[in-house]
Structure 1
Amino acid sequence: TAVDNATLPFMGIVHGKISGVPVMICRLSFSGEMAFEVYSGAGYGALVWEALIEAGKPFGLVTYGLEALGTLRIEKGHVTGAEIDGRTTARDLHLDWMLSRKKPFIGSAMMDREGLIAPGRLELVGLISLDNQPLNGGAHIVEALDEANPHDSIGHITACCYSPALGKYIALALVKDGKARRGTRAHISDPLRNRFGPVEIVSNHFFDPDGSRMHG
């Protein structure tokens, strides 16, 4: 079964067989890298997995876990449940390009309500640790640091990791008027874990911002 870019472009699906087992191969990517998902009948999952692992050995194929997958998605600025928390909108996450202007969709009736387009909403941004120390999920972001009396939070970290691609500690965060703050500096205020330090507010797309790696 051909899986080249022409036959199986991003978001495409083909049907074929692996070790004689009928499978559906989807060109999808959670990580922002060129990736595929393979579906088979439940009773054939182990057989298909083992066949793929064996076929990949000459190419140095290795497995990786969810922590690595999470790091990849943070580097690309992809959102998950930590950012899609029931309070954010597509605009807050810079995904409004996905919203149709030609037809209704779930949520379209509320999209332009005053509270959902008001200034000061939390918007998705990226953070880079400027003291080269790890960041913590849930930590608050403040403009003026006051370790003795933490106050005036402008947002919080939703996901963080060490980025091998950048060689830095990075995070995704929801910050008031976040897009307008790109290129500015702020501070992490995390008194429960005694973590305070400077950060730079940047785009949520740390690595491969045009998404070219996903498209092969």
Structure 2
Amino acid sequence: MSVYEKYIKDITKIGRSTMILGLIVSFLPPLVMTFGFGFNPGLGAILAGAISQISVSGAFYFSEPISYFPIVGRAGLYMGFLSGNLVNMRIPAAVSSLEGSGYESGTDEGAIMGTIGIGVSIWVGIVFLLVSVFAGQTLLANLPQSISRMLSLIIPALFGGVFGQFALKSPKSGVFALAVAFIMTKVVAIIPGKPSFIITLVSVFATIAFAKKQLIKKIDKEEA
């Protein structure tokens, strides 16, 4: 067994344990509220809330592990899903680590670099979270209105930055992804209930299929 295989084996054991622990801790507050204090909205409200949430983010349960695994590897996925903010903090940090190290995504070395990037982002996030908890609200309340409006653009900027980095490596896949996403927003707009998760589901897997075909064509051309 190689060093990397042993590393993955140990990571899997630790990752599964921490994910189970995180699941238990996540359910602890509502369980305490229900059985400790007697506050419960009822099964109907819980099911309605669950269905509503699944309709918005259900696609991410399938698309995110598949699309992010080549960037961060198994360890990075465990850390990212447990710590949260995967899209707007962890993945940009992992991509920056890959770009800085020079390793390719989808390789063992790239997965380790992505994991390191996520680990650093978690510690940085903890520090800034502590600062924001104690001083953030006061600071935000005194910011000029123009700066407050600019802060709302942080998430779109991060999405655009990550997309741009990958689109430069495969411009055709980038254009295809934009086209599919645009078409799906129009299609979903006319579907009753507007199930927005379909946009993500179709865009991610359609782009993966398109990029795979482009890669196969490139390999066939090089071998010819």
TM-score tier after normalising by the smaller chain length: under 0.3
Q: Counting strand residues as a fraction of each chain, which structure ranks higher?
A: 1
Q: Counting helix residues as a fraction of each chain, which structure ranks higher?
A: 2
TM-score normalised by structure 1 residue count = 0.28
